[in-house]
Structure 1
Amino acid sequence: MSNLESAPAEIICSPTTSDATPAGLRVQLLTSRDVPLGGPRAMTVHRTIPQRERSLIGGWCFADHYGPEDVSAGAGPGMDVPPHPHIGLQTVSWLFSGEIEHRDTNGVHAMVRPGELNLMTAGRGIAHTEVSTPETTVLHGVQLWVALPAHATNVDRDFAHYVPPSVDVGGAMARVFLGELFGSRSPVTTFSPLLGAELVVDAGANIDLDVDPTFEHGILVDSGTLRIANAIEPLDVARTEMAYIGLGAKVIGLINTGDEPVRLIVLGGEPLGEDIIMWWNFVGRTHDEMVVAREEWMAHSERFGQVRGYDGEIQHLPAPTLPGTRLRTRDNKPGRA
């Protein structure tokens, strides 16, 4: 997915360190901001990271949550993102309902469907399109980005598809699309240690996540209200909110106190340990990298290639104007678990 803000902020994200305490989990509640994807009838997404309070969770650098959106004929515009570029990141597409058609400059033509992971590696440069299919009536899912560590920023373009099994963990069903949880491991390659999973927690259920204490974690709630049971002060996390838990946590206790299932996305990873700059659809290390990438995209450089088969009106999404000044490095220290 492209960041279609007309004036995207230039965000400088700093590496983080922390320690742990046995007193319980210190949890930071991250609220989302609404971002329209395009014009006045555009679909709205709820963005939890990056934000002023938290730029990174491990290598995870971007989380958009959208829907359920009625995109049936005449109801809404759906998703139609023209050819747009990426550098220095991996995109992670995960749907709860609907279907999206993906095309990229590696010649990949694939469908994004519920419960199926599509992961695209940009490396030095790629372009792609995303269009919800005519058969889609309700579009609902998350679009996530992972910042590539410095040693992997120039890897080859790539694309991976994986259908994780549904694992019954007693009171919840889990699908682990990246990393490992509940004994289920994804075979998909990442360039830093990561965790990504969908959980559906039964009404009244109490679930313990046994997690890696060298990871920081984010719990993004899609539906219902979830309680972080072993926080220093038990915390309820509502739809479109994210609970951030810093380094040192070995168990994250989750309780569904409601009468309906709660669906959530678990993100985790080792702190990236590097300063990165995010601007528009680019992740890099210096302002000059952003300038060059923008210039090459606007010049139709072979660095990004050409997407074939997209029949929309805009065949090359223009890049926004770069900001005149840099933002200061943001405080991104993980909380104490």
Structure 2
Amino acid sequence: MIEMVIEQRRRSLGGGLDVGRVLPYAKRRMVGPFVFFDHMGPLDIAAGSHDHLDVRPHPHIGLSTVTYLFSGEVMHRDSVGSIQQIRPREVNWMTAGSGVTHSERFEKARTQGDHLHGIQAWVALPTADEETAPSFSHHSGGDLPQWSDTGVHGQLIAGSAYGLNAAVKTHSPLFYAHLDLDAGAVAEIPGDQPERALYVAAGAVELDGRRFDTGQMLVLGEGASSVKAAERSTIMVLGGEPLGERYIYWNFVSSSKERLAQAAEDWKAGRMKLPDADDKEFIPLPEGPAPSAPAMS
């Protein structure tokens, strides 16, 4: 029922902002189209904090970024003109396609203080859509169906599951949902996609006679159909159809190593437009050659 357990690895994004990196992993690079999965926080940010925690403008190609918060607030600005706050239980879905740049800043935290906790995921695009025009959409309320049943409180973030459909436009079949579980509650795990995983964002769960705690991702086999909360817990369930091999270099994802190299050169040469509303600084390209191996941690 459980093919693999992936432990989050702590990674610094600079400025004191650490995340729990789950995907990509050396032995499991993707789950369906999900090629990247970071657990942000929980982190208390005091009012008056320096802006070094902010994620300055940086580029992407070949993917959609999915930002989802349990608590806190982030301000998004991008090169297609979007300026959008994201709050808990909302979705910022940015499709990079042929190329986009964006920043994520903790402006509310600096003025009022904040408690940041959420998930940043990347969804790889099908080969035919890797060079699609960049776009951004924000979703909340009725766009993201919610339900409650015998101690399970769910919200569908993207795709189709539990007989529901989210309004987020995706480029391949997938599901992505947030479940809050009361202690002892049993939640269904969607079973209609060939690759699936469950991530424990808070608390602990029981599956296949074993206990799993915060920071663990379970890559699921065909037999896994439900999970039980060992205590009050928050989990993310995700999955979809595999897209084939993908390569990652820094913030770029592609089925082509040559395309990664081109994106790196474009960023280094200043050929990728910065957000108009945030164009005074940016994150430089990391030093060293682009890797030639598939996506890994």
TM-score normalised by structure 1 residue count: 0.81
Q: Given the alignment of the two structures, is residue 243 of structure 1 paired with residue 209 of structure 2, yes or no?
A: no
The residue aligned with 2:4 is: 28
Q: C-alpha deviations, 1:145-169, integer Å up to 9, x for none?
A: 0111110011111111122132113
The residue aligned with 1:185 is: 165
The answer to which structure has the higher strand fraction is 2
Q: Secondary structure at the match of 1:289?
A: helix
CA contact (8 A) 2:204 2:213 kept: yes
Structure 1 residue 136, shift from structure 2 partner: 4.4
- Unpaired runs of 5+ residues, structure 1, are 1-24, 331-337
CA contact (8 A) 1:87 1:124 kept: yes
- Unpaired runs of 5+ residues, structure 2, are none
1:64–1:328 Cα change, 3 Å: closer
The residue aligned with 1:320 is: 286
The residue aligned with 2:253 is: 283
Q: What is the rounded CA distance, in whole Å, between the counterparts of 2:99 and 2:201 in structure 1?
A: 31
CA contact (8 A) 2:261 2:290 kept: no
The residue aligned with 1:69 is: 43
Structure 1 residue 138, shift from structure 2 partner: 0.5
Q: Aligned residue pairs: how many? A: 290
Task: Report the identity percentage.
Answer: 34
Q: What is the rounded CA distance, in whole Å, between the counterparts of 2:295 and 2:200 in structure 1?
A: 28
1:292–1:140 Cα change, 3 Å: same
1:29-44 matches, cutoff 5 A: 29-39=5-15, 42-44=16-18
1:202–1:137 Cα change, 3 Å: same
Structure 1 residue 324, shift from structure 2 partner: 6.7
Q: What is the rounded CA distance, in whole Å, between the counterparts of 2:68 and 2:291 in structure 1?
A: 35
Q: C-alpha deviations, 1:175-232, integer Å up to 9, x for none?
A: 00111222221021111111111000111112222421x421111111111111xx3x
Q: What is the rounded CA distance, in whole Å, between the counterparts of 1:254 and 1:329 in structure 2?
A: 29
The residue aligned with 1:159 is: 136
CA contact (8 A) 1:196 1:266 kept: yes
Q: Given the alignment of the two structures, is residue 267 of structure 1 paired with residue 238 of structure 2, yes or no?
A: yes
CA contact (8 A) 1:93 1:144 kept: yes
Q: What is the rounded CA distance, in whole Å, between the counterparts of 1:181 and 1:37 in structure 2?
A: 32
Structure 1 residue 329, shift from structure 2 partner: 8.2
Q: What is the rounded CA distance, in whole Å, between the counterparts of 2:179 and 2:50 in structure 1?
A: 28
Higher relative contact order (CA 8 A, sep 6+): 1
Q: What is the rounded CA distance, in whole Å, between the counterparts of 2:100 and 2:239 in structure 1?
A: 25
Mean CA deviation greater in 101-110 or 186-195:
186-195
The residue aligned with 1:80 is: 54
Q: Secondary structure at the match of 1:179?
A: strand
Q: What is the rounded CA distance, in whole Å, between the counterparts of 1:322 and 1:30 in structure 2?
A: 28
Q: What is the rounded CA distance, in whole Å, between the counterparts of 2:291 and 2:38 in structure 1?
A: 26
Q: Once superposed, which parts of structure 1, at least 4 consecutive aligned residues long, lie more than 3 Å away?
A: 74-79, 322-325, 327-330
TM-score normalised by structure 2 residue count: 0.91
User: Among residues 203, 207, 216, which one is paired with 1:224 in the alignment?
Assistant: 203
- Which AA in structure 2 matches 1:186? A
Structure 1 residue 129, shift from structure 2 partner: 0.4
CA contact (8 A) 1:79 1:130 kept: no
Q: Given the alignment of the two structures, is residue 142 of structure 1 paired with residue 116 of structure 2, yes or no?
A: no
